Structure 1
Amino acid sequence: MTMTLSPEHNGPALGAVLTDDGCTFALVAPRAERVELALVRDDGTTIRNVDMTNDNGTWRAAVRGVVAGQRYGYRVHGEWNPDAGLRANPAKLLVDPYARAVTAGVDYTGPIFDHTAESYYEPDTRDSAQSVPLSVVVADSPAPEPIARRLPLEQCVVYETHVKGFTIMHPSVPEHLRGRYAGLAYPAVIEHLTELGVNAIELLPIHQFVSEPFIMGRGLSNYWGYNTLAYFAPHGAYCSVGTEGDQVQEFKNMVSALHRAGIEVILDVVYNHTCEGSHEGPTLSFRGIDHKGYYRLTDDLRNDYDVTGCGNSVDTGHEEVLDLIHESLRYWVTQMGVDGFRFDLATTLIRDSAHGVDQNHEFKKRLAADPVFDGIKLIAEPWDMGPYGYQVGRWGRGWSEWNDRYRGYMRDYWRSMVHGVNELASRVAGSPDIFDNDERPPSSTINFIDAHDGFCLRDLVSYDGKHNEANGEDNRDGSDDNRSWNCGAEGETDDPGVNALRHRQVRNMLAGLIMSDGTPMFCAGDEMGRTQQGNNNAYCQDNQINWVHWDLLDQWADVFATAKRFIALRRSSPLLQADDYHYRTEVTDADGKGLGRYEMAWMNGYSGEMGEADWNDGGRRLLGKYVSNATDEAFLIWFYSGDQPVEVTTPPVPWGTSYRIVASTADEGELPTEALGPQADFTLPGRTVVAMRVTVPTTRAQVDELEGITTAPADAAQDGPAEQPQQDATAEQTPERTAGSAQDAPAPQ
């Protein structure tokens, strides 16, 4: 191939951009004294080095004859002065931060460190070109097919999954597509998602990543992908055909296929740190370009200021770093078609120049002001490891947040390790005590009981403790605060009673999650009994510990059916997809007359609304969540974590004239199938979630007619107003000070 230099390119684009006669390259490196563009052959040898021109800190070159698929890298010359935060070392070939594709692989035995083995502060002058990944020139191509309509988050059910692990063992996916973008787009896979009812998938990191040297030294690899190398490049190993740019088109094809099925694509993105670790780690890109610019440093400038627990923290206090993140996000929306982002350790992104947390940070301002992100889902993991890093509930309008308070409490509730049901009401009402501020909607809380980090649902009911021996750290890694219960046996067992209880508990957790206000999220495989064999930190297990075992689907068909039924119920009614917080506001008819029922109320299971004594009962495990609107729709959801059956009485008129169970986690035959009238008794079995559709009077005249009349048969009650029982005047009622949202109930004990 013949390539010749062309006149300096003055366009604004960074990275590699193909032109009619070649390609322009641009790199921001304000502290560099010289930058070379290295054009590299497929065997890793250099074709030529091209000196770039400095344009006010942006280095540019244009080269004729370059075509798509050309490999390249940068060599940055400058001062080596670790005492000043400067670590330029031209012996290290660097990946372009704006590269849209990257070849796979790091040779961890090669000279990939900028320093010698003897000292972190002495430069290693050996060439790294044969040991590091390379950037790849990619041609522009059309964006994926857009989804017909992006849904608001309250209408979404989010399914967290891993591109490889989800399909690597799928029997219907062709072998060469398993574990790839094309595998996730395969019809049998999409059919499973649509049958289940999920309409948004959240992909664990797919930005090009590499494994950490210490993991590779154990014979393992970084499976989750939270170790980013290139923020514009889809991970090449998830492509079925190659890493010379093919991964870009295959990713786009996957997005198009999911969009055609009505499934949105959310990316888990890791802008808070990079794969280079601390100054002791490898130099693959950012450190060699501008160590002081990309990373937060300690006051002595010699070491990284780490608030992520991963060795380094990206410094969004610098304009060029903000530009990189902003442009990366824009690229994934406009060119790659994604519908949202979940920001890993998001607090790191809003720290100021003094490392303090600033909720008015320029990062948030940029996204709010950019119309590209209108309708795009922005989800924060609202904490990091640094001072004041825990920021749950503080991200404001336009943002949703992972709610670890929900995760922790609901785990405790289903193992009956709680005091009463006060906090249960708050959590299933959308955590208004945390998020009902600044006019934020309930979808601000991303409710989850499990995620990639920690036990999956099956393991939550199968293990009392973690079993991470396979990670090679003597079971010291991973959280000890699992809030799990093994149901009577540690690990796998043949005991039918234990296994039946485990199935029921998984059904309860999924059903309770889906029936909670807020945005539900659960992990791929939870609906079919996926297990990690007790490993609660399986980040380095690229094997059957993490992969979804599709052959479990038949054995766990009861869980799949329950999840499917409750998801369909949630999606059937706006009342179960709240876009605003419900309060104890009286519902009125078309004439403005009160109907004696409320947008939200809490039921005690014997007299109607919860009273002070009910809220203060530390032994209570039963709670009914009642929601209604001004038309004829109402639902009553019973949450019950007690282990023994309990007699439950439906609420009196005017709360409803009939109550029909439309979904439950109970076994067949445990609950009545006919509609129940007001103040009707039924037995609620231990550890059960029950959803009832409620028929309600819709005019004040109907309420007046019904009040004071004796009970009508249940069969008549289901068809409309009839003779109904008079409300017990002595029944304990919720005081007027309470509202439908749990924040107005007595404080948790």
Structure 2
Amino acid sequence: MPAILPGRPYPLGATWDGRGINFAIFSAHATRIDLCLFDSPTALRESVRLTLPERSEHIWHGYVAGLEPGQLYGYRVYGPYNPQQGHRFNPHKLLIDPYTRALSGTIQWDKAMYGYRVDSPYTDLTIGKRDSAPYIPRSVVIDPQFDWGDDTRPDTSYRKSVIYELHVKGFTQQHPDVDPDLRGTYAGLASAPVVAYLKDLGVTAVELLPIHQFVNDQHLVDRGLTNYWGYQTINFFSPDVRYASQGHLGEQVTEFKQMVKTLHAAGIEVILDVVFNHTGEGNQLGPTLSFRGIDNVSYYRLAPEEQRYYMDYTGTGNTLNLMHPRVLQMVMDSLRYWVTEMHVDGFRFDLARALVRGSHDADRPSAFLDVVKQDPILAEVKMIAEPWDVGPDGYWVGGFPAPWAEWNGKYRDNIRSFWKSDPGQAAEFASRFLGSSDLFQHNGRRPYHSVNFITAHDGFTMRDLVSYNEKHNEANGEKNRDGDNHNNAWNCGVEGPTDDPEIQELRMRQMRNLLTTLIFSQGTPMLLAGDERGRTQQGNNNAYCQDNPISWLDWSPDPEAESLLAFTKKIIKLRKRHPILRRRSFFRGNLSPTGAEYDVEWLSPDGQEIGPELWHSPDLRCIGLLLNGKVMYEYDHHGHPVRDDILLILFNADPEPVPFILPDWPDEPVWEVLVDTSDPEGNGDRAPSSEIYQLQGRSLVLLRERAGALLPIKV
């Protein structure tokens, strides 16, 4: 048996120094911790068990000389099993190191995975003594070396960003030009045809659904389903082994790094969707896989009246306890690791409201925001909050401080409602389109801190949004009870697929309206992967468990898909070409210093500025927006004033055509049509035949005043 030396308490995790491995793990309430070493991933039990000899400030540690990268290990943690007091120690359970950089495989469900006797009438109050080692993946010691070469972070500010939310597996699983052995993997996402597609589309960042190693819930496995989205994290440092193309131990780490390096070379950022609000261990009846068995009282927020139960602000059974300094440290260590070692460019925080909760609902927020704000490493990357959870006062849109950006759920809801012609939406539409100053300006943030989206992984796709009034989640096996019932969707007259050419054309136009609104709005647009091709999930608005063609992108040749793709590329190029569509600051609306022009003006169809009375009319569905690029009040990095063209955007959510009187400013303007969603094949060089534009029903038009047009300055 190898000797174990005292070692060091830092860094946490398993660290190879070229001569051996140092092991360090936190537990404030354990009485003993054993390090278990395995000879292979399939070994049923450990070959060596060594008790960690030292404890420094609740960090248990030891050093074993002669061990090398690829070593498999886990922990058995001793202490009281007293659920009423929150303690669930059980040395019969092999536990995953919270700081491991890789795992050897995935969980295999068995009764032994639970810390209690599942057949006991006392449920979790009775300790279970089955050994879980045969069913739990082993932690893997990795060699962190990687040739990053000249890898540099793409210089993409929020203002220049177009974010593309995708699933690593689903994006390439059916791609005909990706090597079949690489489909659904990190390597597949970094393959030449995929990178070329992303660059040609014009997106600047991919936001990956969770790639931290996650739990495939037993209730899904028992029903023949799977946790496709991955919002059940069990380790915050390990890229999920299921997305690796190679089976070698730790290969997922190298493959992920190569993916990032390849995407960076193409000028594309990598943003991770991270789930620090809860873990995949569930409530008191969940399995004991890692945190619960290491120190349940420290890692989780427990009910103050009876610590047998968990505070659940997430709807998943538990909430991670970021009030504890060691848990907060783990989260921060994870974030820094992914930035420094894995070179990622930002994070989107799932249910971020749960991360800032104090010990009681009325308390000041936890230290998480303060710690993030002062961190020099995280200051260099994007930090995006999903600003809600399921607890009291859980909807925090606009409530995060600078420099946080936020998913703007109010934008999503209003834009959907406006284009389905709901009454009384125009006034809020004006605010949402111009960056939601009512939500973000009060604490010094900018328009780009609003991450605008109309669809995301959770909910309808763009095509389904215009094809279904109701959700159709029967495939999930929950009798269509799951998923959101409030979708602001409109099927355009028929539920689901139809051969009616008029409805088909209307659906395509509505998708163009929604996409163009998203791309031209002030703020940071986020596009759901596949929406540019009209992807459908057959009406399923909660496809979290559908690891199959319902969720995967369909790359089959299709004229409608190619038409919508070409249109999406066009409007993204227009956004990049016109800095007035992606401003640094909110519009002022005031007069320019040298003339009588406004920098922005909302117009009614009679060509006049909209007054307060009309804004409050429930029947206002047709409006125009004049953007004066000659008076932007913005400067580039060299201090030069930014100038752009004068643009006019016309929105008509009414089903009937509207004759829109074009502005007569500047003198004798000549308007050029750049986009008309009712005529997607327009080549951009047309001019209105008169001073009135015949705005078709349910359409959006972008015009440019071309007399004396200025070339936009790249900033």
Range of TM-score over shorter length: over 0.9
Whether contact under 8 Å (2:70, 2:249) holds in the other structure is yes
Tell me if structure 1 keeps the 8 A contact 2:311–2:319.
yes
Deviation string, structure 1 residues 426-475 (Cα, Å, up to 9, x no partner): 11011111111111100111111111101010100111111111111111
In structure 1, what is the equivalent of residue 420 of structure 2?
Answer: 415
Residues 197 and 632 of structure 1: is their aligned pair in 2 closer, same or farther, counting only changes over 3 Å? closer
Tell me the distance in 2 between the aligned counterparts of 1:18 and 1:262. 33
- String of CA shifts for 1:179-222, please: whole Å, max 9, x gaps: 00000001111111111111011100000001111111111110
Structure 2 SS opposite 1:198: coil
2:130 to 126, 132, 148: 126
Q: CA deviation at 1:719?
A: 5.3
1:87 corresponds to which residue? 88
Alignment equivalent of 2:391, drawn from 386, 392, 397: 386
Structure 1 residue 41: deviation in Å? 2.1
- Residues 306-321 of structure 1: matches in 2 within 5 Å? 306-321=312-327
Q: Report if aligned partners of 1:208, 1:233 keep a CA contact under 8 Å in 2.
A: yes
> CA–CA distance in 2 between the matches of 1:101 and 1:672?
52
Q: 1:652 to 1:614 in 2, by over 3 A?
A: farther
- Whether the aligned pair in 2 keeps the contact of 1:663 and 1:692 (CA below 8 Å) is yes
From 118, 141, 144, give the equivalent of 1:137.
141
User: Partner of 1:214 in structure 2?
Assistant: 219
Structure 2 residue corresponding to 1:17, chosen from 15, 18, 23 = 15
| AA partner of residue 268 (structure 2) | I
1:143–1:337: 8 Å Cα contact kept in structure 2?
no
CA–CA separation in structure 2 for the residues paired with 1:310 and 1:502 = 36
SS in 2 for 1:571: helix
Which residue type is aligned with residue 109 of structure 2? Y
- Equivalent pair of 2:473/2:542 in contact (CA under 8 Å): yes
How many Å separate the matches in 1 of 2:345 and 2:102? 21
- 2:347 maps to 341
Tell me how far 1:666 sits from its aligned partner: 2.2
State how far apart, in whole Å, the 1-side matches of 2:501 and 2:23 are: 64
Deviations, residues 523-552 of structure 1 (Å, cap 9, x unaligned): 100011111111111100000110000115
Give, in angstroms, the shift of residue 289 of structure 1: 0.3
Query: Which shows bigger deviation, 428-437 or 316-325?
Result: 428-437
Shift of 1:613: 4.3
In the alignment, the residues of structure 1 paired with residue 23 and residue 651 of structure 2 have an alpha-carbon distance, to the nearest angstrom, of: 60
Distance 1:656 1:263 in 2: 43
- Once superposed, what is the RMSD of the aligned Cα atoms? 1.8
Change over 3 Å in CA distance of 1:673–1:16 after alignment to 2: same
Show the counterpart of 1:735. Answer: none
Residue-by-residue CA offset, 1:232-251 (whole Å, 9 max, x unaligned): 00000000002510000100
Question: C-alpha distance in 1, partners of 2:410/2:709?
Answer: 41
Say whether the 8 Å CA contact 2:472–2:538 is kept in structure 1. yes
Aligned to 1:255: 260
CA contact (8 A) 2:8 2:22 kept: no
Q: 1:25 to 1:670 in 2, by over 3 A?
A: closer
Question: 1:532: which partner in 2?
Answer: 537
The 5 Å alignment of 1:227-266 reads 227-242=232-247, 244-266=249-271
- Give the C-alpha shift of residue 147 in structure 1: 3.8
**Structure 2: runs of 5 or more not aligned:** 632-642, 711-715
Other-structure match for 1:619: 619
* 1:37-73 residue CA offsets vs partner (Å, 9 max, x unmatched): 0001212231101110222211111112211111110
2:636 aligns with none
Q: Distance in 1 between matches of 2:671 and 2:70?
A: 64
- State the partner residue of 1:115: 116
Aligned to 1:694: 705
Which AA in structure 2 matches 1:138?
I
Q: Number of paired residues?
A: 690
Q: 1:156 to 1:668 in 2, by over 3 A?
A: closer
C-alpha distance after superposition, 1:660-695 (max 9, x if no partner): 112232225889943359x81121111111112224
Alignment of 1:57-456 (within 5 A): 57-117=58-118, 118=120, 119-142=123-146, 144=148, 146-147=151-152, 149-242=154-247, 244-299=249-304, 300-356=306-362, 358-359=364-365, 361-419=366-424, 421-456=426-461
Distance 1:161 1:351, change over 3 A: same
Contact 1:234/1:248, CA 8 A, preserved across alignment:
yes
Contact residue 511 and residue 562 of structure 1 kept, 8 A: no
Q: Residues 624 and 219 from structure 1, CA distance in 2 versus in 1: closer, same or farther, beyond 3 angstroms?
A: same
The question of 1:46 aligning with 2:46 is answered yes
Residues in 1 aligned to 2:65 and 2:275: alpha-carbon distance in whole angstroms: 35
Change (3 A) 1:688 1:47: same
- Distance, in Å, in 2 between the alignment partners of 1:271 and 1:148 is 24
In structure 1, what is the equivalent of residue 660 of structure 2? Answer: 648
Measured after TM superposition, the shift of residue 357 of structure 1 is 6.0
SS in 1 for 2:33: strand
Aligned to 1:666: 678
Q: Displacement of 1:356 after TM fit?
A: 4.5
Give the conservation status (yes or no) of the 8 Å contact 1:156–1:200.
Answer: yes
Change (3 A) 1:179 1:553: farther
TM-score, normalization: structure 2? 0.94
Corresponding position of 1:700: none
2:523 is the counterpart of 1:518:
yes
Cα distance 1:612–1:29, how it changes in 2: closer, same or farther (>3 A)?
A: closer
SS at match of 2:238: strand
CA contact (8 A) 1:562 1:664 kept: no
Provide structure 1 residue ranges, at least 5 long, that are not aligned to the other structure: 696-717, 722-749
Q: Distance in 2 between the 1:297 and 1:79 partners?
A: 17
CA gap 1:35/1:500 in 2 versus in 1, 3 angstroms: same
User: In structure 1, what is the equivalent of residue 603 of structure 2?
Assistant: 603
1:383 and 1:389 in contact (8 A); partners too: yes
Give the distance between the partners of 2:680 and 2:497, measured in 1 at CA.
25
Q: 1:372 to 1:671 in 2, by over 3 A?
A: closer
Aligned partners of 1:355 and 1:399: how far apart in 2? 22
How big is each residue's C-alpha offset from its partner over 1:132-171, in whole Å with a ceiling of 9 and x where there is no partner? 1111111112374644533211211111000000000000
Task: Report the TM-score, using the length of structure 1 for normalisation.
Answer: 0.89
State the secondary structure of the residue aligned to 1:72: strand
Q: What letter is aligned with 2:35?
A: L
Equivalences for residues 472-491 of structure 1 within 5 A: 472-491=477-496
Report the alpha carbon displacement of residue 418 of structure 1 after superposing the two structures with TM.
2.7
1:600-653 Cα offsets, whole Å, 9 max, x none, are 111223223223443233212112222223345222111211112111121112
Which whole-Å deviations, capped at 9, do the CAs of 1:255-285 have from their partners, x for residues lacking one? 0111111111110000000000001000000
Counterparts in 2 of 1:375 and 1:178: CA distance versus 1, 3 Å? same
Q: Greater Rg, structure 1 or structure 2?
A: 1
Equivalents in 1 of 2:424, 2:411: separation in Å?
15
- Quick check: 1:664–1:690 contact (8 Å CA) kept in 2? yes
- Residues 285, 387 of structure 1: CA spacing in aligned structure 2 closer, same or farther, 3 A cutoff? same
C-alpha separation in 2, matches of 1:337 and 1:161: 19
Q: How far apart in 1 are the matches of 2:153 and 2:402? A: 25
Quick one: distance in 2 between partners of 1:339 and 1:720? 36
Q: One-letter code of the match for 1:634? A: I
Answer yes or no: is the 8 Å Cα contact 2:154–2:264 preserved in 1: no
C-alpha contact (below 8 Å) 1:35/1:59 kept by paired residues? yes
CA contact (8 A) 1:383 1:391 kept: yes
Range with bigger deviation, 557-566 or 662-671 = 662-671
- Give the alignment of 1:723-734 within 5 angstroms: none
Could you tell me whether the CA contact under 8 Å between 2:8 and 2:24 is conserved in 1?
A: no
